[in-house]
Structure 1
């Protein structure tokens, strides 16, 4: 299973899509803009094992802000929403207020529709992301993708019921491994974040997301088989929320 993958952005997207559809039990294809979602859904349509979700990535908020209304319409027909969120890093901080406006509108829309599952980007802005989520109780389920903030913010996210998608790339850093030891083992699912996340051999492929089980098993002091079984159970539970009817 892969709960955060930009399947449409691989250089040979059609081939990767076909292979993921053949090999994977489940892949969540997150998109970066409402128009990208509309186009991708036609070229790489959803299947029994692949879902495609509307999103508006905070890194392109300034370029894609005019598409917000389209996104809010698309959310009505999709239980899954992503990638959305806020990025507070130096490169994107100049558009921080716009990012927050867009993310708040998305979360409010999710609340008004009875809840959605959100794949959330929170780099250097996790506190702000959590504050927005707190403003709209009943928004649904937050899945914090590649969480990199502090231990104290992580504890707050855990107390709020957030889920976490973790990939091999997150565990290459000491901070990522430290945070992984703190995660609630029943609210963690695997991700690739391909093709942006990479290993020495190139972009992480969707079917490589499962490799995180061995690393997490070590960090959780759990046999690899048990860690894999836990991730499978978690994935099945989260998937049931994603594929329920909007």
Structure 2
């Protein structure tokens, strides 16, 4: 059977108030990461209206207000409504916030141990500490977003079962990509930040530059890269048992993979 594989963007930031037709007209399957419980709750109200978008539940580690307003019970309620968690993690730019970040991430990982979800994890300046948390509280479905770890950290992440989402900025880190197997790769824009240097249009779902770069690196076609990304996503969906939580059109594509 021939499958029409649309672009797959597993981490982008989109205003939850976007018009449904505008989002559909991007012609891509997009996993939309959210930064706070409040934003996540607003986004998840859209679920019946978006055919190709998967809205996530997130608490961004770089946002003080999101961390301070985190509630385990509120987050647990959001988990019941989505197959995707994003974005969560640690960010060392403001070191004084790290204790609260650790507390929030630990709470979220504990919840994900019993209710696995595809989980997009931020680790800026804290790659090894994120891996320490994943070692202490292992989960299924971990995707290291815009990964900046060195070779040893990357090998450790692979041993932990993590996947990696690559954008137009991170695709240039050859020392990392040299050790990531193709079966652990996913693609992202991290719109509006991760695609600042890509060729236009600069919009969620436009992962053409990343596909081209990865195809050249692995010596295969861009179509093969796209199909591989979908198969990798399908493996994550199966591992986390979240197929029935996806929008019906996305569910159909994943089932074909």
Q: TM-score range by the shorter chain?
A: 0.7 to 0.9
Paired position in structure 1 for 2:134: 133
Structure 1 range deviating more: 28-37 or 56-65? 56-65
- Whole-Å separation in 2 of the counterparts to 1:116 and 1:44: 17
Paired position in structure 1 for 2:222: 224
Structure 1 range deviating more: 200-209 or 66-75? 200-209
Give the CA deviation at 1:216. 0.7
Of 174, 193, 196, which aligns to 2:193?
196
- Superposition CA RMSD, Å: 2.5
- Residues 78-98 of structure 1 show CA distances to partners (whole Å, capped at 9, x for unaligned) of 321110000123xx2111111
Paired position in structure 2 for 1:8: 15
Give the CA deviation at 1:158. 0.6
- Whole-Å separation in 1 of the counterparts to 2:28 and 2:157: 28
Structure 1 residue runs of 5 or longer lacking an equivalent are none
Q: Report the CA distance shift for 1:136/1:52 in structure 2 as closer, same or farther (over 3 A).
A: same
The answer to whether the 8 Å contact 2:150/2:175 transfers is: no
The answer to whether the 8 Å contact 2:36/2:66 transfers is: no
- Residues 135-190 of structure 1 show CA distances to partners (whole Å, capped at 9, x for unaligned) of 223x221000010111110000011110111111222x4xx233122211011111
Structure 1 range deviating more: 56-65 or 156-165? 56-65
Structure 2 residue runs of 5 or longer lacking an equivalent are 1-7, 247-257
**TM-score normalised according to structure 1 size:** 0.84
The answer to whether the 8 Å contact 2:37/2:69 transfers is: no
Higher helix share: 1
Tell me whether 1:106 sits opposite 2:112 in the alignment: no
- Residues 95-143 of structure 1 show CA distances to partners (whole Å, capped at 9, x for unaligned) of 1111011000000011133x22211001111111111112223x22100
**TM-score normalised according to structure 2 size:** 0.81
Equivalent residue runs for 1:2-81 within 5 Å: 2-8=9-15, 14=18, 18-42=21-45, 47-61=50-64, 63-69=66-72, 70-81=74-85
Paired position in structure 2 for 1:156: 156
Q: Report the CA distance shift for 1:61/1:50 in structure 2 as closer, same or farther (over 3 A).
A: same
- Residues 62-83 of structure 1 show CA distances to partners (whole Å, capped at 9, x for unaligned) of 5532333322332233321110
- Whole-Å separation in 1 of the counterparts to 2:216 and 2:90: 31
- Whole-Å separation in 1 of the counterparts to 2:90 and 2:219: 33
Paired position in structure 2 for 1:118: 119
The answer to whether the 8 Å contact 2:189/2:204 transfers is: yes
The answer to whether the 8 Å contact 1:4/1:192 transfers is: yes
